């Protein structure tokens, strides 16, 4: 049985989290700085370290079977690959930005302007959709310096924290597309590779679910339990255990990470005490 070949970014915004995800899926890969290729000791997978820009093409051509990269690159390269799963990290957006002192009237601002970008396809379709006649200057890196050196009037580039734009005196004015890391796959994997991929996706989903949820424990008087159960739907329904102190119980459940602050206030109001919120390592639904 041949290994599944996965391409991940060699260095950049996605590389650390991509390695981390594989580790959290129980896949141990060695960490050599200049290694281009490594295999995992305990899972039938081979890891290729590549430039994210090249990953869509390599997956289309089966140099790699699958890859981890940003949707931004997948959409821009438009290769014949399939998106299998959104991974919930490396959130960013492709945005248009202009010198911060310029006033912005709307998309029409870009008529007859020159815009530097590494994403010519996505930018062209944005301009076409908005009937804008602008000139696109394709450059492969350091896009943010283009206005400062007189190469372009504006840029269209990836924004994550926004600090690159800020240090270069630029202001984000339009979001062209939003992005996060995804797993892409070649569309014609043989059966044995498909099986490895579904094992990997099963683990990825367990890790993702675990990150999106927290385990919550709390104490409450018995009479508060119905109200508390309304607030905490949990995976099925909360677990309730009696406490030594009469009339009190301990309740265990699962809450969504992004809802839990709001839930915790409701719980306190309903009578909950001693609330503990604990990370979950893996969660299989």
Choosing from 46, 52, 144, 157, the residue that interacts with Zn ion (CB under 5 A) is 52
Assigned token pair, 148:
């400062």
- Residue ranges of E strands in 187-272: 213-221, 239-242, 248-256
Q: Is 120 in the site for ligand PRP (CB under 6 A)?
A: no
From the list 32-40, 100-108, 161-169, 170-178, the region that binds ligand PRP by CB under 6 A is 161-169
Residue 186 class from Cβ within 10 Å (0-12 exposed, 13-18 middle, 19+ buried)? buried
Q: Is 24 in the site for ligand PRP (CB under 6 A)?
A: no
Decide if 47 contacts 10 (C-beta within 8 A).
no
**Least Å from the CB of residue 63 to Zn ion:** 17
Residue numbers 139-158 binding ligand PRP by CB under 6 A? 143, 157-158
Q: Which of 38, 75, 68 is nearest to 208 (CA)?
A: 68
Q: Is 105 in the site for ligand PRP (CB under 6 A)?
A: no
Q: Is 169 in the site for ligand PRP (CB under 6 A)?
A: no
**Least Å from the CB of residue 156 to ligand PRP:** 10
d(CA 34, CA 215): 40
d(CA 283, CA 285): 6
Closest CB to ligand PRP among residues 105, 161: 161
Choosing from 160, 198, 239, 265, the residue that interacts with ligand PRP (CB under 6 A) is 160
Q: Which of 200, 207, 184, 187 is nearest to 3 (CA)?
A: 200
Where does this chain bind Zn ion (CB under 5 A)? Answer: 52-53
């Amino acid at each position: 049985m041949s290994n599944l070949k996965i391409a991940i970014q060699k260095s950049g915004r996605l590389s650390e989290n991509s390695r981390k995800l594989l580790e959290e899926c129980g896949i141990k890969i060695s960490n050599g700085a200049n290694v281009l290729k490594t295999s995992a000791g305990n899972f039938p997978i081979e890891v290729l370290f590549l430039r994210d820009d090249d990953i869509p093409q390599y997956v289309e051509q089966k140099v790699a079977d699958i890859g981890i990269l940003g949707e931004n690159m997948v959409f821009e390269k438009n290769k014949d690959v399939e998106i299998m799963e959104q991974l919930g990290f490396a959130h960013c957006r492709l945005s248009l930005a202009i010198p911060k002192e310029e006033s912005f009237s709307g998309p029409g601002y870009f008529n007859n302007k020159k815009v530097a970008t590494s994403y010519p396809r996505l930018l062209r379709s944005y301009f076409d959709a908005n009937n804008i006649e602008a000139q696109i200057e394709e450059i492969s890196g350091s896009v943010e310096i283009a206005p400062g050196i007189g190469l372009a009037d504006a840029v269209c580039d990836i924004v994550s924290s926004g600090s690159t734009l800020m240090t270069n005196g630029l202001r984000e004015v339009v979001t062209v597309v939003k992005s996060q890391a995804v797993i892409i796959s070649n569309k014609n994997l043989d059966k044995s590779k498909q099986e490895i991929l579904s094992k990997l996706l099963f683990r990825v989903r367990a890790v993702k679910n675990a990150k999106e949820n927290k385990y919550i424990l709390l104490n409450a008087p018995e009479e508060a339990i119905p109200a508390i159960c309304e607030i905490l739907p949990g995976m099925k329904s909360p677990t309730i255990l009696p406490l030594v102190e009469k009339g009190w119980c301990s309740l265990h459940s699962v809450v969504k990470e992004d809802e839990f602050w709001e839930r915790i206030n409701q719980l306190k109001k309903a009578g909950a005490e001693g609330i503990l919120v604990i990370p979950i390592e893996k969660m299989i639904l």
